[in-house]
Structure 1
Amino acid sequence: MKKIKTNVLRLLDQQHINYETREYEYDDNHLSGEHIVHQVDLEADEIYKTLVLHDHHEYLVCCIPVMEEIDLKKLAKASGHKSVEMLHQKDLLSLTGYMRGGCSPIGMKKKFPTYFQEDILLLDRVAISAGKRGLQVILKPQDLIQYVNGQCVDVIR
């Protein structure tokens, strides 16, 4: 079986950051976090999804547990904005270089301010998209946060 190397994995290799990967069956009809949780043998709170948002001037990235919902008011306050909203799905690829279901905070076309749900600090490991639908990368939260120069705040409902 050929090993998949995404841009995310190449960037982690360059920084000598240890990681492992897990593949799962990607299905456009089942984009729920539950779909991934049942396939990757990790706890739901160890799997984070990457959301891209904006305030009409600036873009920002937020990573939260896959089964949770973002609180836009909390994120706006934590990031120093009046309000923020989700980026429209049709703009995701051109802005980040990633498709929905394969968006990672690592390796976007530009570096954006990145926020993590603060509970990530309680974990020994966290899984995020490896930049491709159906592939997760698992690494230490501290390595991830440091790599993207992220901030940990409370942003879920």
Structure 2
Amino acid sequence: MSKKKEKLNHKTNAVRIVEAEGIPYKMYTYEAPDGFLDGVSVANSLGQNVDMVFKTLVTVGNSGANYVCVIPVSNELDLKKAARHFSEKKMEMIPAKEITNVTGYMKGGCSPVGMKKQFPTAIDISAESVSSIIVSGGKVGLQMEMGLADLQRVTGADIVDLTSEKVKGEDSLR
């Protein structure tokens, strides 16, 4: 009973969509005792290189439209680069309290796959330098690894330069 029930618990919208598209993926789980871990801690708890683990950030432009940016967990989103890519004059992160209403996902478990609505999406160009990338599986404690081309296909994402320099000292992290 517990194995079957545990498997069903991993069937988030993101996982269902990836499976329906026939995309090969690996699933990882991790413990988040306080309900949230930062991305670098997630990479470390999975024993994965931080350059492979990406976070999903939801932004809003001056027009009021939402956009999704998928970047390495150790990098920061360059809002000017993102705005330029999405043809917005200015962009900002949506407030954390709006994440669930906008995406259908909780903070820390926001996947670029399977949001309530498919928003224009961009993946940072650094994803081209790794063999596969790991993104949220749609809930805290669940990550999915897949090829960049597959993630791009299922999200309709463009590949662009979205990040500013890494925060000092993070190059040495796993």
Q: What's the TM-score once normalised by structure 1's chain length?
A: 0.95
Amino acid paired to 1:103: C
Partner residue, 2:45: 39
CA distance in 1, matches of 2:113, 2:38: 21
Give the unaligned 5+ runs of structure 1.
none
Q: How does 1:1-157 map to 2 (within 5 A)?
A: 1=3, 2-3=6-7, 4-28=10-34, 31-56=37-62, 57-157=64-164
> Equivalents in 1 of 2:128, 2:153: separation in Å?
12
CA distance in 2, matches of 1:70, 1:76: 11
Shift, 1:109, TM fit:
0.4
* Structure 2 unmatched ranges of 5 or more: 165-174
Number of corresponding residues: 157
- Letter of the structure 1 residue corresponding to residue 30 of structure 2: Y
2: distance between equivalents of 1:93 and 1:28? 18
Give the superposed CA RMSD.
1.3
Report the Cα offset of residue 81 of structure 1.
0.8
Q: In the alignment, residue 55 of structure 2 is paired with which amino acid?
A: K
Which has the larger displacement, 93-102 or 33-42? 33-42
Task: Describe the shift of the 1:107–1:45 C-alpha distance in structure 2 as closer, same or farther (beyond 3 A).
Answer: same
For 1:138, the aligned partner's letter is: E
Report the 3-state secondary structure (helix = DSSP H, G, I; strand = E; otherwise coil) of the residue aligned with 1:69.
coil
> CA offsets per residue over residues 48-106 of structure 1, 9 Å max, x none?
00000001421000000011111111111111110100001111101100010000010
CA drift at 1:29 = 7.5
How far residue 30 of structure 1 moved from its aligned partner, in angstroms, is 5.9
Q: How far, CA to CA, are the matches of 1:8 and 1:30 in structure 2?
A: 19
State the distance in 1 between where 2:96 and 2:150 align: 28
SS at match of 2:51: helix
Q: Deviations over 1:8-48 (max 9, x none)?
A: 11111111110010101114476322211111121101000
